[in-house]
């Protein structure tokens, strides 16, 4: 895999974003300063990074794929109203899930590699709006 300026820009943008950007969000925040950058290049590289394990993917019902700089075991909280995503780092929780791998493998005969856990509800802002 060759190093290119585009790969570098894209990875830096994801890291600088602060949340969990989509391909288009990465593209939008780069195209002003890099008008020749192609959306296809952004998709191609984000997918490559995700397939390599250098980025995570967060897939949510009704939304384009989001990308995550955190590649270790963790969970997410997702707002059903506005789509906001928060990372949840809780080793106790992850351990509880991992402890279940053997059970699940026993009941399904699957060979498991990971789990994907999302807590779904309303973020603080949307909770406030709904109750006001």
Among 18, 35, 72, 124, interactor with a copy of itself by CB under 8 A: 124
Q: Identify residues 6-65 at the interface with a copy of itself (CB under 8 A).
A: 57, 59-61, 65
Residue 54's Cβ-count burial label (10 Å; 0-12, 13-18, 19+) is middle
Tell me if 82 contacts DNA by CB under 7 A. no
Q: Identify residues 58-77 at the interface with DNA (CB under 7 A).
A: 62, 64-65
Q: Are 68 and 27 a contacting pair, CB within 8 Å?
A: no
The smaller minimum CB distance to DNA, of residues 5 and 111, is found at: 5
Instruction: From residue 15, give the alpha-carbon distance in Å to each of 2, 39, 68, 69, 111.
Output: 20, 18, 9, 6, 32
Q: Identify residues 80-119 at the interface with a copy of itself (CB under 8 A).
A: 80, 86, 88, 90, 93, 96-97, 100-101, 103-105, 107-119
The rounded distance, in Å, linking the Cα atoms of 102 and 45 is 35
- Work out how close the CB of 1 gets to a copy of itself at its nearest, in angstroms, rounded to a whole number: 22
Tell me if 122 contacts DNA by CB under 7 A. no
Tell me if 85 contacts DNA by CB under 7 A. no
Q: Are 80 and 120 a contacting pair, CB within 8 Å?
A: yes
């Amino acid at each position: 895999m060759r190093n290119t300026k585009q790969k570098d820009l894209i990875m830096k943008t994801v890291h600088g974003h602060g949340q969990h950007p989509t391909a288009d969000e990465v593209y939008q925040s780069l195209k002003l300063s890099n008008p020749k950058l192609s959306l296809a290049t952004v998709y191609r590289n984000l997918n490559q990074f995700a397939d390599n394990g250098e980025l995570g993917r967060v897939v949510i019902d009704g939304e384009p794929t989001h990308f995550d700089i955190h590649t270790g075991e963790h969970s997410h909280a997702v707002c059903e109203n506005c789509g906001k995503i928060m990372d949840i780092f809780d080793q106790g929780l992850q351990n509880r899930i991992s402890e279940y791998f053997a059970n699940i493998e026993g009941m399904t005969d699957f060979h498991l590699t990971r789990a994907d856990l999302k807590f779904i509800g309303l973020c603080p802002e949307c909770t406030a709006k709904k109750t006001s």
